[in-house]
Amino acid sequence: MSLKTKCSVLGVLIDSIDYDTVTNRILQAACERRSLSVSALAVHGVMTGVLNREHKFRLNHLDIVVPDGQPVRWALNLLYRAGLRDRVCGPRLMLQVCERAAKEDVPIYLFGSTFEVLQRLTDNLKKRFPRLRVAGTQPSRFRRLTPEEKEGIASQIRESGAGLVFVGIGCPRQEVWAYEFREPLGMPIVAVGAAFAFHAGLLPQAPNWMQQAGLEWLFRWWTEPRRLWRRYLLLNPLYLFLLMLQMTWFVRFDSKGRKPLAELLYG
């Protein structure tokens, strides 16, 4: 599978890639101490780029965007005959990268969520991977950052000795974070969303059969109805409608977007 294969899904460029390939690229970048921005997008993540041209620019300038949701994988297979046998789920990718990082002695850094979640996440990861080194953790401030705060965060992560950073501050903030911190950090940034809460044991994951059937959204909606109802009831049907337009060639979706005029500095 080509490492350079990016395919437009409604104008958002998604990599036709599997777990092993993206894991190898992340660890290689970590060992070479170079930047690599990675995010896992489901339907909601794709739609954030469809509905906002500046965010589309950010997404399309990340190094790797993997098909997290089954409907995104199905789109790649239908539109481009990608032949992907599985999606690349953010929580599973996080575990696979942690397993390799433990074997290759690459320290990780955890940014986002709350102190409680980070503490439980760190404990659980170390139990699962005893050789894993967590160089540091930093909870989210849940607000916009000043330029000085951004530099302070970047300095703290660089000085921790970490080889790569996992960021879990929710979509689309974590993709903004990965885009804006990729140069100051100069190391792999992997945006994994709800993986922090899942692996901390604070949020249940959908049963495997629901994940395979593309029904994980229904399970998450059931567990967090007030927070997620707009995301799934409004964006999912719109995604399917627009995807049909792309499949029938009635509409061509621009992948250029618009370069952001200023940083958002989420943290």
198-216, pLDDT tens digit by residue? 999 987 776 787 777 777 7
The tokens for 11 are 């104008």
In DSSP terms, 67 is beta-bridged to: 41
Write down the pTM of the prediction. 0.91
243-262, pLDDT tens digit by residue? 999 999 888 899 999 999 88
55-69, pLDDT tens digit by residue? 999 999 999 999 998
Residue 107: Cβ-neighbour burial (10 angstroms; 0-12, 13-18, 19+): middle
Beta carbons of 266 and 176 less than 8 angstroms apart: yes
Domain segments of the chain as ranges: 12-138+146-199, 208-247
Specify the pairing of strand 188-191 against strand 164-167.
parallel
Where do runs of H (alpha helix) occur along 14-89?
19-31, 43-50, 53-60, 70-80
Residue 3 C-alpha from the chain's centroid: 18
Beta carbons of 157 and 185 less than 8 angstroms apart: yes
pLDDT tens for the chain, residues 1 to 267? 334 589 999 999 999 999 999 999 999 999 999 999 999 999 999 999 999 999 999 999 999 999 998 999 999 999 999 999 999 999 999 999 999 999 999 999 999 999 999 999 999 999 999 999 999 999 999 889 999 999 999 999 999 999 999 999 999 999 999 999 999 999 999 999 889 999 999 877 767 877 777 777 676 777 777 776 677 778 889 999 999 999 998 888 999 999 998 888 888
User: Which helix or strand (DSSP H or E) is residue 116 part of?
Assistant: helix 115-128
The candidate with the shortest Cα–Cα distance to 24, out of 38, 41, 13, 6, is: 38
